[in-house]
């Protein structure tokens, strides 16, 4: 086995009373891809900063292989005094690094390099920070929530970019699919210690549940043993004194073990305060259009949203997702077309912009509005401390200034404020940002149990698949199309995902290079019988597949199919995906044979 590039040994760190990290061990070998998992507040970001050499632990050692380069992506990058994003990225390069990489990566991430770092949006700041850590091609990349504020196309680009690199990765992320596609081992930071397996995130949740179940059985056995020993102490202490003294000491040790046991943190108690039921029709949009000058944001879009629907809206940053939501919910008028809102609507909104919170105010003040000790939850007063506990805040955090809260804690605070208001329509803008996996699970369950309607803007592919019943995606120039099902269902209906299209685009070029590399003296060949037959029959097969796809698409165009016949929807989606794959293979084979025929004729 190769020696580790970075090694943390017996790392200990305490803030206040309870140790945050106690005897943490972490080894990262060359090319290894580790996802670092843990609850909000468990110390993941702190551990990553220790690995980066930015925080000094109370005890333990940090070793980095001499000559190994380490780059760390924080959740909130510091741009210092740099005037442009290009200057910021180039400042992270070492002597001998390729300066062209700086501008290339900025362009790939949708930046010019001339932007002022201090006027960037959250997504732009994250893309600039990614370019800064990727440009040197380091041996070790330490990434803290790299997908936050990124749109889906950028997340998929980043996934492919990281997958193609030889750097070792340590990734903290809430994005399940991102972790599943990239990780090869999992480090679980739980109650101050790390448990690690040589399997990626796809195996984590099953393994975690097995570990916790075994731990619960061990604690039950310990409790039983303590009861038995206490019974002996009361009734059987009259035996040999020396043996009794030793047994009594063992009982004290068992009690100490039980007393020092740190149980797992509880789950958040997320529950939306529901208002009276809305009408069956929630929102109806007919031919709505919105433009800013020459730029079309929404062009002739129509939809009908009914009570209980879960609508997901996706698209690149700047595509107009928030504008579309504001149009649908009556927050702004369309330039043309009509919006009709249903009866008895009560809307609660979760805004992704947390800067609306006063960083100097306390947690309790943010929840109560600075008025007393109670939060109005569903129209009824609830003591602020009890409501804080529902969202996994400790009583001691009541007076904590918001500026010192972690990203996950601020995310839970925004949820707590939004869910306190009675509603039958929830509008959630990026609710998953910074939330740990356990809180995401509870949020999914809450939305599943919610009797009202949900409109959700998200870039989390897995969360969309688990929650929504339809997806609205932009097609360019203000055109938006609604697809039944989740994110994966949308890809099936569109017929191809980004990776497949990229592979198809590269294939002809690769084949052409292979042919040009063939020796000029290669003997002239003829088409075989099978090749001639394929060349003659493939066009008819492609025509048939086109007709089949059109027929299947007409079935999927029924907006109510998913709700009324899920099996038919799933079967049709699978069939159309298979037909697209067969069509793709037929087109590539025909093109290959046609080019071969032309080469033979011209030889």
Among 470, 492, 514, where does a domain finish?
492
Instruction: Give domain status of residue 105, yes or no.
Output: yes
- How many CA atoms does the CB half-sphere of 499 hold within 13 Å? 10
Q: When comparing pLDDT for 144 and 502, which is higher? A: 144
pLDDT above 60 (res 271): yes
pLDDT above 90 (res 479): yes
Tell me: do 198 and 157 sit in the same domain: yes
Tell me: do 516 and 446 sit in the same domain: no
Two structure tokens written together for 112: 């010019």
Residues flagged as binding site: 38-45, 315-322
Residues flagged as binding site for ATP: 38-45, 315-322
pLDDT above 70 (res 573): yes
pLDDT above 70 (res 353): no
Which residue matches tokens 């000790």? Answer: 373
pLDDT above 60 (res 354): no
Chain centre to alpha carbon of residue 539: 42
Tell me: do 287 and 327 sit in the same domain: yes
Instruction: Give domain status of residue 159, yes or no.
Output: yes
Listed residue (473, 165, 167) closest to 319, CA to CA: 473
Instruction: Give domain status of residue 486, yes or no.
Output: yes
pLDDT above 80 (res 235): no
SS3 state of residue 320: coil
Residues 305, 454: Cα–Cα separation, whole Å:
10
Burial of 117 (0-12, 13-18, 19+ CB in 10 A): buried
Q: When comparing pLDDT for 482 and 389, which is higher? A: 482
pLDDT at residue 556, rounded to an integer: 82
Domain containing residue 456: CATH number: 3.40.50.300
Tell me: do 569 and 470 sit in the same domain: no
pLDDT above 80 (res 60): yes
Residues 54, 45: Cα–Cα separation, whole Å:
11
Which residue matches tokens 């592919």? Answer: 461
pLDDT above 80 (res 482): yes
Burial of 565 (0-12, 13-18, 19+ CB in 10 A): middle
Tell me: do 413 and 547 sit in the same domain: no
Residues 196, 442: Cα–Cα separation, whole Å:
25
Tell me: do 437 and 305 sit in the same domain: yes
Average pLDDT over residues 75-85: 91
Instruction: Give domain status of residue 222, yes or no.
Output: yes
Instruction: Give domain status of residue 274, yes or no.
Output: no
Torsion of CA 35, 39, 45, 51, to 10 degrees: -50
pLDDT above 60 (res 524): no
pLDDT above 50 (res 138): yes
Q: Do the beta carbons of residue 99 and residue 90 sit within 8 Å?
A: yes
Instruction: Give domain status of residue 271, yes or no.
Output: no
Average pLDDT over residues 82-99: 91
Tell me: do 113 and 130 sit in the same domain: yes
Q: When comparing pLDDT for 2 and 583, which is higher? A: 583
Instruction: Give domain status of residue 275, yes or no.
Output: no
Residues 281, 378: Cα–Cα separation, whole Å:
23
Average pLDDT, the chain: 82
pLDDT digit string, tens, across residues 328-340: 999 999 999 999 9
Domain containing residue 596: CATH number: 1.10.287.380
Helices (H) and strands (E) in the chain, counts: 19, 20
Average pLDDT over residues 470-481: 91
SS3 state of residue 266: coil
Instruction: Phi first, then psi: give them for residue 420, nearest 5 degrees.
Output: -70, -25
Tell me: do 180 and 168 sit in the same domain: yes
Residue 466 confidence class, pLDDT cut points 50, 70, 90: confident
pLDDT above 50 (res 16): yes
Tell me: do 377 and 403 sit in the same domain: yes
Residue 553 confidence class, pLDDT cut points 50, 70, 90: confident
pLDDT above 50 (res 217): yes
Tell me: do 320 and 359 sit in the same domain: yes
3-state secondary structure 387-409: HHHHCCCCHHHCCCEHHHCCHHH
Beta strands 453-457 and 425-429, pairing class: parallel
Q: What are the DSSP E strand ranges found in 193-280?
A: 193-197
- How many CA atoms does the CB half-sphere of 207 hold within 13 Å? 15
pLDDT at residue 368, rounded to an integer: 85
| Residues counted in the chain | 603
Q: What percent of the chain has pLDDT over 70?
A: 83
Instruction: Give domain status of residue 395, yes or no.
Output: yes
pLDDT above 60 (res 76): yes
Residue 87 confidence class, pLDDT cut points 50, 70, 90: very high
Among 166, 183, 206, where does a domain finish?
206
Among 460, 492, 524, where does a domain finish?
492
Contacts of 217 (CB under 8 A, 6+ apart): none
Tell me: do 462 and 579 sit in the same domain: no
Average pLDDT over residues 380-384: 84
Residue 502 confidence class, pLDDT cut points 50, 70, 90: very low
pLDDT above 80 (res 107): yes
Residue 603 confidence class, pLDDT cut points 50, 70, 90: low
pLDDT at residue 137, rounded to an integer: 92
Q: For residue 381, what are the domain limits?
A: 281-492
pLDDT digit string, tens, across residues 198-212: 999 999 988 988 888
Within 10 angstroms of residue 252's Cβ, the number of other Cβ atoms is 10
Tell me: do 317 and 252 sit in the same domain: no
Which residue matches tokens 């060349």? Answer: 535
pLDDT above 80 (res 187): yes
pLDDT at residue 244, rounded to an integer: 58
How many domains is the chain partitioned into structurally? 4
Q: What percent of the chain has pLDDT over 90?
A: 37
Residue 514 confidence class, pLDDT cut points 50, 70, 90: very low
């Amino acid at each position: 086995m190769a020696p580790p590039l970075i090694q943390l040994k017996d790392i200990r760190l305490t803030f206040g009373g309870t140790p945050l990290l106690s005897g943490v061990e972490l080894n990262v070998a060359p090319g290894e891809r580790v996802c670092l998992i843990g609850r909000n507040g468990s110390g993941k970001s702190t551990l990553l900063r220790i690995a980066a050499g930015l925080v000094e632990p109370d005890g333990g050692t940090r070793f980095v292989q001499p000559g190994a380069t380490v780059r760390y992506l924080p959740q909130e990058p510091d741009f210092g005094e740099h005037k442009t994003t290009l200057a910021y990225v180039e400042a992270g390069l070492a002597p001998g690094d390729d300066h062209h990489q700086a501008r290339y990566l900025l362009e790939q991430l949708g930046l010019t390099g001339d932007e002022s770092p201090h006027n960037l949006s959250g997504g732009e700041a994250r893309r600039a920070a990614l370019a800064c850590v990727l440009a040197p091609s380091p041996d070790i990349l330490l990434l803290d929530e790299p997908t936050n504020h990124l749109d889906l196309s950028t997340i998929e680009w980043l996934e492919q970019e990281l997958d193609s690199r030889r750097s070792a990765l340590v990734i903290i992320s809430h994005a399940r699919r991102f972790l599943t596609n990239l990780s090869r081992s999992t480090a679980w930071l739980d109650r101050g210690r790390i448990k690690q397996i040589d399997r990626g995130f796809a195996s984590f949740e099953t393994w975690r549940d097995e570990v916790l179940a075994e731990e619960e059985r061990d604690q039950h056995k310990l409790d039983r043993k303590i009861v038995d020993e206490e019974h002996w102490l009361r009734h059987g202490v009259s035996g040999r004194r020396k043996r009794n003294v030793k047994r009594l000491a063992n009982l004290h040790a068992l009690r100490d073990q039980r007393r020092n046991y740190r149980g797992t943190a509880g789950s958040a108690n997320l529950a939306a305060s529901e208002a009276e039921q809305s009408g069956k029709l929630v929102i109806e949009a007919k031919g709505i259009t919105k433009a800013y000058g020459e730029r079309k944001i929404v062009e002739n879009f129509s939809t009908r949203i009914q009570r209980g629907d879960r609508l997901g809206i996706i698209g690149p940053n700047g595509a107009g997702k928030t504008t579309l939501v504001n149009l649908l919910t009556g927050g702004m008028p369309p330039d043309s077309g009509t919006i009709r809102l249903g009866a008895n609507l009560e809307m609660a909104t979760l805004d992704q912009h947390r800067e609306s919170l006063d960083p100097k105010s306390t947690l309790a003040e943010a929840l109560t509005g600075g008025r007393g000790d109670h939060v109005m939850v569903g129209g009824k007063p609830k003591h602020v401390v009890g409501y804080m506990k529902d969202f996994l805040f400790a009583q001691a955090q009541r007076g904590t200034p918001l500026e010192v809260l972690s990203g996950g804690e601020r995310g839970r605070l925004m949820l707590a404020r939004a869910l306190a208001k009675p509603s039958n329509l929830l509008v959630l803008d990026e609710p998953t940002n910074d939330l740990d996996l356990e809180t995401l699970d509870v949020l999914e369950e809450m939305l599943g149990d919610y009797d009202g309607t949900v409109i959700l803007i998200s870039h989390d592919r897995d969360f969309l698949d688990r929650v929504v019943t339809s997806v609205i995606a932009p097609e360019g120039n203000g055109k938006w199309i609604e697809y039944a099902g989740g994110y994966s269902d949308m890809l099936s209906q569109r017929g191809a995902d980004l990776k497949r299209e990229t592979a198809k685009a590269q294939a002809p070029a690769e084949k052409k290079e292979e042919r040009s590399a063939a020796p000029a003296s290669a003997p002239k060949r003829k088409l075989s019988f099978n090749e001639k037959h394929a060349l003659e029959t493939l066009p008819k097969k492609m025509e048939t597949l086109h007709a089949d796809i059109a027929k299947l698409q007409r079935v999927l165009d029924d907006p109510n199919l998913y709700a009324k016949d899920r099996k038919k929807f799933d079967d049709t989606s699978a069939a159309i995906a298979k037909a697209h794959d067969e069509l793709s293979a037929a087109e590539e084979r025909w093109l290959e044979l046609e080019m071969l025929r032309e080469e033979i004729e011209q030889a």
